[in-house]
Structure 1
Amino acid sequence: MASLPYADVDSTQRAIAGQAEGFGRFAVGGLHGPLVTVTTLSDDGPGSLRDACRNPGPGWIVFKVSGTIRLSTYLSVGSHKTIDGRGERVKLTGKGLRLKECENVIVCNMEFEGGRGHDVDGIQVKPNSKHIWIDRCSFKDYDDGLIDITRGSTDITVSRCYFTQHDKTMLIGADPTHVGDRCIRVTIHHCFFDGTRQRQPRLRFGKVHLYNNYTRNWDIYAVCASVEAQIYSQCNIYEAGKKKKTFEFYTEKAGDREEASSGVIRSEGDLFLNGAQSCLLATSGGEGSVFHPSEYYKTWTMEAPSDSLKQVLQVCTGWQPVPRLLDHHK
């Protein structure tokens, strides 16, 4: 039977802090701050999520209300914050979250749907943010990306999230002139990409470790490596629909290089279903080798891809009906 990592993090409110796997493993969010309670679905004002996020200093934000918060502008999240949606069902719409020049942020068990406007993402991580964990969130139908990680943001984990009804799903590294994005490091694991068209993810420059994700029915490609990207795809399930190309390689010229290049993907233990192309015809087209995750972290919870894992990821990703937790923090 398939198992999921960090199964014990729902024992108490703050047990989740520091339990991310992968590059975002040091994210503790608002562990050392007070409990801050959201009591209204209003976009702003006392008791609102926006008001809780603007408070200086660390904070562990929880909800005593369920429903939809319609954001008129991006909601900026400062450093040392946890947005903890467990115990309620809260959906953000209209705009999304912006993690700008911040560190130590956890976003858990939230829904993002129907973001409208130019350059509107569900969660936008830029610039220069680090130690971020996005966990058990549901994303669909934004005008731009669902999660974008750009402009030198790094050490990020996206886990057990659900993505659907969208085109440009996850962009990591926005432009070949952004050579500072060579620092980007992202882990994506136990996520379910359900019919999203492309960018699961698309990467420039950085390093991405993908493991135990389930990606099905894409419409252009599943995963794309562009200029200098290094992607380690490990024990994922790729189930094709009409389009069979799993891995794509785009050639671009870095802003400080004379020659154009694509990226490199290493596929190890991946499962390819319904005619998904397993060959990496362009894997040698990119310059250099692919990093190994063990160079950066010692352990991660992974199993061989199977029908059992596929079934679990269909029900245990995205927002979950987790009961309200007790906070034992003193």
Structure 2
Amino acid sequence: MLFGASDSYSADEKMQITVAFTRFGKNLVQRMPRVRFGFVHVVNNDYRHWIMSAIGGSSHPTIISHGNRFRAPRNIAAKEVCKREYATEQEWKNWDWRSEGDLMLNGAIFTQSGDPKAAKKFGGYRMIAYKPAHMVPLLVRWSGTLECRPNKPC
């Protein structure tokens, strides 16, 4: 999932997206999502292994992670959930990337940055209320592609 046209298209600062109730399986490399500019609420998803990172971004996006389950891969060098691209730590430490109520398994690490109260800026009607991370397996149990056939309901 790539959100944002390019690192030079600042009009995407208005973008607001929710990624919810998705199961990301083994051997996915990255971009679950990858964000340029804008605001993304990542809520109640199941991340089962990744090769580089689960969530990435550039151009100072705001990413709020709520109630997700992150199961890191065995590779000790890939335990970090987040990857901030094309920015020094001096830059990205001011980006609002927050994790609240997430479950970190197998050594998963979410390096938070920015305002600890960033989620409150987008509260209320702008964000889905999240369930506790231990409920994620039930919430995503039936997620996946629809098996639709022509002339039949999906």
Using structure 1 for the length normalisation, give the TM-score: 0.39
1:316 paired with 2:146, answer no
1:244 pairs with 2:79: yes
Larger-gyration structure (1/2): 1
Shift of 1:208: 0.3
* Alignment pair present for 1:184 and 2:15: yes
Deviation at 1:321, TM superposition (A): 5.3
1:48-67 aligned at under 5 Å gives the runs none
Mark the runs of 5 or more structure 2 residues left unpaired by the alignment. Answer: none
Note if contact 1:204-1:227 (Cα within 8 Å) is conserved in structure 2: yes
Counting matched residue pairs gives 143
Residue pair 2:35, 2:61 contacting (<8 A) in 1 also: yes
CA distance 1:295–1:322, change in 2 (3 Å): same
1-structure distance, mates of 2:50, 2:147: 28
Root-mean-square deviation (Å)? 2.8
The alpha carbon displacement at 1:184 in A equals: 0.8
Determine if contact 1:233/1:266 at 8 Å carries over to the other structure.
yes
Q: Note if 1:198 corresponds to 2:30.
A: yes
Deviations 1:40-62 (A, max 9, x none): xxxxxxxxxxxxxxxxxxxxxxx
Q: CA deviation at 1:246?
A: 0.8
Structure 1 residue 174, shift from structure 2 partner: 3.4
Q: Could you say if the C-alpha distance between residues 227 and 212 of structure 1 is closer, same or farther in structure 2, counting changes exceeding 3 Å? A: same
Change (3 A) 1:182 1:278: closer
Q: Which runs of 5+ in 1 are unaligned?
A: 1-169, 254-259, 326-330
Structural mapping, 1:197-276, within 5 Å: 197-241=29-73, 242=75, 243-252=78-87, 261-262=91-92, 263-276=95-108
Whether contact under 8 Å (2:80, 2:111) holds in the other structure is: no
Equivalent pairs: percent with the same residue?
27
Shift of 1:291: 4.7
Going by fraction, where is helix more abundant, 1 or 2? 2
Change (3 A) 1:174 1:322: closer
Out of 305, 311, 322, the residue aligned to residue 133 of structure 2 is 305
Aligned-pair distance for 1:289? 6.8
